[in-house]
Amino acid sequence: MTGYFAALLALTILLYVLLDGFDLGVGMFFGLTRDPGERRLMLALISPVWDGNETWLVLAATLLWGAFPYVYSLVMPAFYLLLVLMLGALILRGVAFEFRHNARGSRAFWDSAFSVGTGYRCRRAS
């Protein structure tokens, strides 16, 4: 049974890395471009799937907690600060993604927040 849960955990981590890697890559290129049309296209590309990709991360954490509680109890304190920073960046990216659509005067701020949430700095749009 342990092998089954280990394989399932590996699969969920692989799916998160592959699927959310696309979103993170778009976020990094989002910070490099200054053209508003290209930025709209980039967000339109990830719009249908970006929110669901974090589900794999939640599933992986749940599997680790449920199937391997001893490993979970060792990993969480060791990487607590990094995990909090990663979750904060994921939240910032999600909030910026949603708020950018309705923003008028603060769109540059939300563009920067979206890029920072993906782990990349944003160039100021001219």
Q: Write down the pLDDT at residue 23.
A: 83
For the stretch 60-116, pLDDT in tens is 999 999 999 999 999 999 999 998 998 898 888 889 888 888 888 888 888 888 888
Interatomic CA distance for residues 113 and 125, integer angstroms: 13
Q: pLDDT band for position 126 (50/70/90)? A: very low
- Closest CA relative to residue 26, chosen from 104, 98, 93: 93
Distances (CA, A) of 69 to 72, 75, 97: 5, 10, 34
For the stretch 19-32, pLDDT in tens is 888 888 888 888 88
32 within 8 A of 124, measured Cβ to Cβ: no
118 within 8 A of 30, measured Cβ to Cβ: yes
Which two three-digit tokens encode residue 28?
A: 């990094």
First to last CA, the chain: 57
Of the chain, the percentage scoring pLDDT greater than 70 comes to 94
- Closest CA relative to residue 12, chosen from 79, 62, 65: 62
